[in-house]
Structure 1
Amino acid sequence: MLDLENLIREFFYHLEKNKSEIEIYNEFSFQHELGIFLREKLNHKGYQIRFEINVRCFGYEPKETYEKKEIDIIVRSKHNKNELYAIELKFANKTNGQHPEKMFSFIKDILFMETVKAQCKEFIENYCVTFVEDDKFYTGRKIDGVYAYFRSGKEISGKIEKPTGDNKFTISLRNSYKIKWEELSDKKKFYIVKV
């Protein structure tokens, strides 16, 4: 079994060390660079990296309109079809704005990974990885509501309501999760949540 969490962490330190050569500027570039890194590390160990694979390929049909359908990155064993790992990614910087909405989307990724793990039995470990270049995601005056999960260490669990907008709805998580920000340079931070 892979130690994928530490490989993902290693990617961020590789990114810091090579920041003059590797630039992350949106979610696609994040997905692309992490995928390249994982392929370089794992291809010779019998693993394949796949991008944007629809969950229908694994027999799951999303029921809610807000549910995601594609998994950002899948790490797949070439030798064991029942050894799959899913990674959902989020990237945010100052140009994104809408902090409470983006924070809620971070939580929706956790729900998606819970659902994939429950519905698609081939997945043995799933991860949500978020990379931010904006300190408003982890600091600020507001520490209630959705902000509490990312700014003050409140455990993410149970029912969570979409914080803004007309289309309010609630999602329910099966398990509990705690966001542990890891610091990079220039107000950049990331977290890895194992689902």
Structure 2
Amino acid sequence: MKEIIQHFFKYFSQSPFELYNESGFRHELGIFLKKYYPELNVKLDYPVSRMFNPIPKLANKEADIFIIESGVQKHVIELKMPKDENASHVDLYRVIQDLKFLEQLKDQGFETCTEVFITKRKNIWESINGGIYKLFAGDSVNLRSVTKDEIQPFLIHGGPIELGSTYKAKWEVINDAKGDEYRYFMINVK
């Protein structure tokens, strides 16, 4: 799946479109997958209740992009695209939550589980803040479990998130049709 998503970003760099929100980005990726990989059965915003019977306890209730390949191999792509100029703990916390969800799906036998994060918020990769921000700062991300001390009080209800692994990825640069610079990373969950 990583190669397919890399193909999408190569296509995007040659034929950029406007990036305006996560839903639009998800639909553009879905259209690309259906056009260039017609053998894949691609479903957007797919409920986990339709994937499992009985339904296991999972971190999320739906998959951003659910793909069935050759009738049996299951893949999931989770996307995050914060849309305003201020990075928030909530957006970054949800990336860690997505990784937990993807680990759970991997444990349930999914072939590949991939997180894609794209943003034009410089304050994420240039952050000098501590807490959850430090996991995203610099030339690469180093994502891991988050503790109660690393999350803002308003997120305490969600609680700490324990991941099974640490995930590293390099920030990549891309421009949309308006010339706005975005950075993105992609992580395949183990």
Aligned residue for 2:36?
Answer: 41
One-letter code of the match for 2:168? Answer: K
Which of 137, 151, 155 is the matching residue for 1:163?
151
- Percent of residue pairs bearing the same amino acid type: 25
Look up the match of 1:147: 133
| CA–CA separation in structure 2 for the residues paired with 1:137 and 1:9 | 22
Paired residue total: 180
CA distance in 2, matches of 1:110, 1:26: 20
Seen in structure 2, the aligned counterparts of structure 1 residues 139 and 148 have a Cα distance that, compared at 3 Å, is same
Match of residue 62 from structure 2: 70
User: Does structure 2 retain, via aligned residues, the 8 Å contact 1:53–1:70?
Assistant: yes
CA spacing shift, 1:193–1:102, aligned 2, 3 Å: same
Aligned to 1:101: 90
User: What CA distance in whole angstroms lies between the structure 2 residues aligned with 1:184 and 1:154?
Assistant: 17
Q: Where does structure 1 lack aligned partners over 5 or more consecutive residues?
A: none
Once the two structures are TM-superposed, the CA of residue 140 in structure 1 deviates from its matched residue by 2.6
Query: Contact 1:99/1:136 (CA < 8 Å) preserved in 2?
Result: no
Aligned-residue Cα RMSD (Å) equals 2.1
Native 8 Å contact 1:159 1:170 kept in 2: yes
- Within a 5 Å distance, the mapping from 1:77-156 to structure 2 comes to 77=69, 79-81=70-72, 83-93=73-83, 95=84, 97-118=86-107, 120-121=108-109, 123-142=110-129, 144-152=130-138, 153=140, 155-156=142-143
Provide the TM-score with structure 1 as the length reference: 0.82
Which ranges of structure 2 fall in alignment gaps of 5 or more residues?
none
TM-score (norm 2): 0.84
Aligned to 2:111, what secondary structure does the other structure show?
strand
Q: After TM superposition, give the deviation of residue 179 of structure 1 in Å.
A: 3.1
